[in-house]
Amino acid sequence: MERRGQIGLLDALLLDVVRLHETWMEVVFPRQLDPSTVLGKWKPETTPQKLGYYLWAALGAPLVAIGYPLLLLGFATRFYATRLDSALTRIGVVGAVIVAAIVWGTLTLITHLQLQPDDVIAVGAASIVATVSTALAATFSKVGGRFVSVLLAYPFAMTAFFLPPVVAALVTPTLEQIILPPSYDLAVWILDTFLFVGGLNDFLRASFDLETFGEQWGLPGLGYVLMWVGISVPLGWFLGVLVALANLVRPRPEASSASSA
């Protein structure tokens, strides 16, 4: 039984890799991912066609090796997004907004009993951000198709997830020690890895100070807030694209049946 389970898993992994490579081939050549029931899979006939076909296949092999772990991340993201979407379907967009408002409203009430008025205002602002982001993410996930979900729903969902704890950490000493120092280290790592091209990291370091940005306007911690907004949006796009790729390589049963109908 265990051996059969292992073979089944290996077969599934192999099928995913093959379909991912066929998706790559589909970019240039027709009928690679989903061959026609009448014409079958397109195959090269002339020598130039064969040369281009196999050269493109060879170029895709290392990309598939790199892209398959990302595809697995797309499968995992789709799994949890489907669970959230099912919950959203049961309670509706209005229900999701009400739940978010109750949760964050309760947090604001608790801070009102324990913190200074300025701190309560900050936590209340975080609550508003969380509630509005949840409402927008839920609305765009239901209103639009795949493109709208990738463009808008996923970024707002990431914002609703990341931003409120950061805002709460600005006024809560316990959370501050847990969230802000790692956020600073993450900002340094991003500057040194992703934003070093063209000296962009040097420009940002010279123009902005993460810890003091916003103090001149009476908004201490604004730099951390903008940093996590800047992370949430492209991260949402990234995860949305991975989910779209996962749907293309391994369509969900309900999606494939709907498309066949």
Q: Over range 80-96, report the average pLDDT.
A: 80
DSSP-derived letter for residue 37 is T
Q: Residue 85: in which H helix or E strand, if any? A: helix 47-114
3-state SS of 195-261 is CCHHHHHHHHHHHCCCCCCCHHHCCCCHHHHHHHHHHHHHHHHHHHHHHHHHHHHCCCHHHHHHHHC
More confident site: 87 or 253? 87
Task: Write out pLDDT tens, residues 114-171.
Answer: 666 666 776 777 778 778 888 888 888 877 678 888 888 899 889 888 888 887 787 7
- Specify the 3-state DSSP secondary structure of 45: coil
Rounded distance between C-alpha atoms, residue 259 and residue 31, angstroms? 17
| pLDDT of 37 higher than 80 | no
- Cα 51 → chain centroid: 38
Task: Write out pLDDT tens, residues 212-254.
Answer: 888 787 777 888 888 888 899 999 999 999 998 888 887 776 5
Task: Return the pLDDT at 260.
Answer: 36
Rounded distance between C-alpha atoms, residue 222 and residue 62, angstroms? 42
